[in-house]
Chain A
Amino acid sequence: MTVQADYSDATQASGEAIIELQDVDKFFGHFQALKDINMKVGLQEVVVVIGPSGGGKSTLIRCINRLEKHDNGRIVVDGIDLSDDVRNIQEVRRETGMVFQSFNLFPHLTVLDNVTLAPRQVRNMAKKEAEALAMQMLTRVKIPEQARKYPGQLSGGQQQRVAIARALAMQPKVMLFDEPTSALDPEMIKEVLDVMVELARGGMTMIVVTHEMSFARAVANRVVFMAEGEIVEVGTPEHFFTDPQETRTKLFLSQIL
């Protein structure tokens, strides 16, 4: 895997780039959060994005499902060019699933209803079918017995796993993770990471923003280091942690490892 400082090739598990960002900029007022981002993510690839706070990692993945609007450049998701058209945006959002740092479960619905809401409303699934699918997903994240409970009754780790199940229930092509374990107590981080590892091994395309290096080492195909809005360095996990090239990368790694 060659190491380029400003863009990356897609790894060739299947040969196609499912997400492509070309010359993407993003401004918040005068502040430039993303600078000339070029990136391709291949099918079934697991990309881990690391970097200091404010470096643009969250902004990057939030642009992919249009929670933030990019200002310049092109973002293509599964062949759909992200534009201002509402139908485009909805299509992209159907094919991407997102897991948030603060879970964002719907507190007034049961766990089961949380997971079945979108399939029923967006994909017009029948109730029984949706509930069967939901139980499947909840089993996959290892908490099927919590189906009838409310989010407020669950621990942080359980809530995040429900959030993963909720995103999976839409059967997306790509899963986006925005610091999924940062709000969890240490003893619950492992249970969520285990679910994510299994997901990766099962062939899901994932982009994960995280500080958990253990996860990167276990399943990442590529690690992308972002700072000050640009992609600084890209490489395989081994390369990254044993032989980083850029100064900024070395500085950051020395602080977290």
Chain B
Amino acid sequence: MWRDLRVLRVVVQVLAVFVVGAMAYVLWFNLTNNLRAAGLATDFDFLTQPIGVDIPGSGLSPGAPIWRALLVGIKNTLALVVVGIPLVTVIGVVVGIARLSTNWLVARAAGLYVELLRNIPPLLIIFFVFNAVILRFPILQESINISDLLIINNRYLAVVGFTAQPNFGPFLLILAIALLISAGVWWWRTRRSERTGEPHHRVLWSLGVFGVVAIVAFVALGAPIGLSRPVLDGRALEGGYVGLASYFAVLLALVLYTASHVAEIVRGSILAVPKGQTEASNALALTSFQRLRHVVLPQAMRVAIPPVISQYLNFTKNTSLAIAIGYAEITRLTFQTIGNGQPAPQMIAILMGAYLVFSLIISLLVNVINRRLELVTR
């Protein structure tokens, strides 16, 4: 009987559960014992205790509870991800296509960028950008000041910001309506082109209409948007939009690094489109731009999207490297709290959980997009 496949399967699985369970139990036992012996909490109550460190740029005092600090950390991570991923996409696609240009200099320049950045560790790039670029800027008191519109020093970058003046609400409303109108213009121009066959120029039309309405509304409502100029006030900057130097260092470094990988993927995906597609397009007298837009890029995109999304995931995970230059995203905050004596296993568990959530969201997005883009076959 013990040779029977079914019995074997059950036995093996029961064994597997037992082994894994035993291992887990031993680890758990050790964990709780050691935590208790070190006088550390074994639960998550410590999250209400004060963080004990200053978090630049967050408005939180050292007395704020840890869990609030972690939320700030998540916000900071997202600040990198939300701005970084679009930048990575744009730069990556442009450089990837540039590498296939018939202009030899452009192609070589793109190739140089990709081969250089792809092969250097991202942590090194972050340090390099931080030390060789950011820290080269003058100190706070001697900031570069471009007529109060832009202030740069080695700790902050501040640009002029916008403030709401009277009539701001109505202005926003009109902008929303303008958006709807330009969407309508887009639709109208497309239909017109289908009917008559003439080029639609819909991008120009929509943008034009939106711009005209916005400008007219702006003037008519008496300039409902004001400027808030950044001002050096002692040791801080007031007004405008202020960003941390460390943020920009991490952003620039990771964007350049990840974009170089995306460029390679884009290039490979365009080269992967079978030559016959190009020939058929040429035989039909399509111009190279029409060929790119209607035949090559749609097919290249299908090949490119899974690995590109993987790069987005890498970008998100690499934001943890900001720990090295003091940008207060979640990894750094975890590191600091552990340094302050809070229990490490729980903190790290929370940290990993946060990244798992990010990864899961992005992975789900991948599956959805992949399914929609699949080529239809028998």
**Chain A residues packing against B (C-beta within 8 Å):** 65-67, 90, 93-94, 96-98, 100, 102-108, 117-118, 120-130, 150, 152-153, 163, 166-167, 170
Contacts and interface: CB of A to CB of B under 8 A. Distances in A.
B282 A127 contact: no
Q: A interface, by DSSP: helix, strand, loop or mixed?
A: mixed
Interface in B276-309: 276-277, 279-280, 282-287, 290, 294-295, 298-299, 302
A108 B276 contact: no
Contact of B377 (A100, A104, A152, A170): A152
A90 B283 CA distance: 9
A129 B197 contact: yes
A153 B376 contact: yes
Contact of A108 (B194, B283, B299): B299
Contact of A100 (B280, B286, B376, B378): B280
Contact of B284 (A108, A117, A127): A117
A167 B283 contact: yes
Given A100-B276, A118-B285, A150 B377 contact: yes
Contacts of A167: 283-284
A122 B286 contact: yes
Given A118-B284, A120-B197, A122-B285, A107 B375 contact: yes
Could you say which of A90, A107, A128 has the most chain B C-beta atoms within 10 Å of its C-beta?
Answer: A107
Given A104-B277, A153-B378, A126 B282 contact: no
Given A104-B276, A124-B197, A152-B377, 18 more contacts: A65-B283, A67-B283, A93-B284, A100-B276, A104-B280, A118-B286, A122-B286, A124-B199, A125-B197, A127-B193, A127-B194, A127-B195, A130-B197, A150-B375, A150-B377, A152-B376, A163-B280, A167-B284
A117 B295 CA distance: 10
Given A126-B194, A127-B194, A128-B194, A90 B287 contact: yes
16 contacts: A93-B282, A93-B284, A98-B280, A106-B295, A117-B284, A117-B294, A118-B285, A120-B197, A121-B294, A122-B286, A123-B197, A130-B197, A153-B376, A163-B280, A167-B284, A170-B284
A176 to B, nearest CB: 8
Contact of B285 (A94, A102, A108, A126): A94
Nearest to A86: B287
**Nearest 8 Cβ contacts at the A-B interface:** A152-B377, A127-B194, A104-B280, A93-B285, A118-B284, A104-B276, A98-B283, A126-B197
Contacts of A121: 286, 290, 294
Interface residues of B, number: 28
Interface string B345-378: 0000000000000000000000000000001111
Contacts of B277: 104, 106
B102 interface: no
A102 B276 CA distance: 8
Contacts of B299: 106-108
Given A121-B290, A122-B284, A124-B199, A150 B376 contact: yes
B4 interface: no
Nearest to B287: A90
A209 to B, nearest CB: 14
A248 to B, nearest CB: 30
Contacts of B198: 124
A166 B283 CA distance: 11
A123 B299 CA distance: 24
Given A67-B279, A108-B302, A152-B376, A126 B195 contact: yes
A9 B313 CA distance: 66
Contacts of A126: 194-197
Contacts of B193: 127
Contacts of A93: 282-285
Contact of A170 (B194, B285, B287, B302): B285
B311 to A, nearest CB: 23
B239 to A, nearest CB: 51
Contacts of A125: 197
A124 B286 CA distance: 11
Contacts of A117: 284, 286, 294
B294 to A, nearest CB: 6
Contacts of A170: 284-285
Contacts of B194: 126-128
A128 B197 CA distance: 9
A9 B279 CA distance: 30
Nearest to A130: B197
